[in-house]
Amino acid sequence: MKFFLDTADIDEIKTLNDGGMVDGVTTNPSIIAKSGRDFKEVIKEISKIVTGPVSAEVTATDYATMIKEAEILRKLGDNIAIKLPLTFDGLKACKVLSSERTMTNVTLCFSPMQAVLAAKAGASFISPFVGRLDDISSDGMDLIAKIVQIYGNYDFTTEVLVASVRSPDHVLSSALIGADVVTIPTKILRQFYDHPLTKNGLDAFVADINKAGIKVL
């Protein structure tokens, strides 16, 4: 499973990328706006830090403007994936961009058949939003399971990118189901290695080493 960071925090991306934990980054205009920096400059900087896909989202809602924006965004780095909404215009733009070998990430997916349409349009990634479904008392992980099964039935090459992740359990369930990618807030990713029992064990180990006076250097 690949881990994408769901952030535009440059320092966090650099730190976690140096630890070998980052396979890509997903961004959106709302996330970048919080940094107070220029949207395109942030995308360009992120694309130089990570080698994997960096999703850059169009702001337009009509096909013609989506294509114009995509022309600008994909020049920001060789690893840019154009993020498009799951609308008719978004799917139309996805088909054109995919035919030009541009990576695409179709977002705001909430049903299995939406995911099928994105795959037929040639999307590189489909982003189902599990947290938002959970918020309305629907089962977000059930959606992931259905999409994974359908894609497997027909050998679609579109990768399932689990989005709107709210907890470590979302990530664990995604891995058990067989999703290709999970885009994760940095605070959740850090929880995976920052386990209290690991800390307790290390503290005991250090205490024993100090007591015995053992030194390597």
Q: Point out the residues that are catalytic.
A: 83
Alpha-carbon distance of 137 to 159, in angstroms, equals 26
Tokens of 138: 């629907």
Listed as own residue / partner, the contacts of 171-179 with beta carbons closer than 8 Å and 24 or more positions apart are 173/141, 173/144, 174/1, 174/141, 174/144, 175/1, 177/141, 177/144, 177/145, 177/148, 178/148, 179/1, 179/144, 179/148
Alpha-carbon distance of 146 to 113, in angstroms, equals 10
Alpha-carbon distance of 189 to 210, in angstroms, equals 31
**Residues forming beta bridges with residue 57, ordered by sequence position:** 83
Q: How many CB atoms lie within 10 A of CB 74?
A: 19
The answer to whether residues 89 and 62 touch, using CB atoms and an 8 Å cutoff, is yes
The answer to whether residues 167 and 134 touch, using CB atoms and an 8 Å cutoff, is no
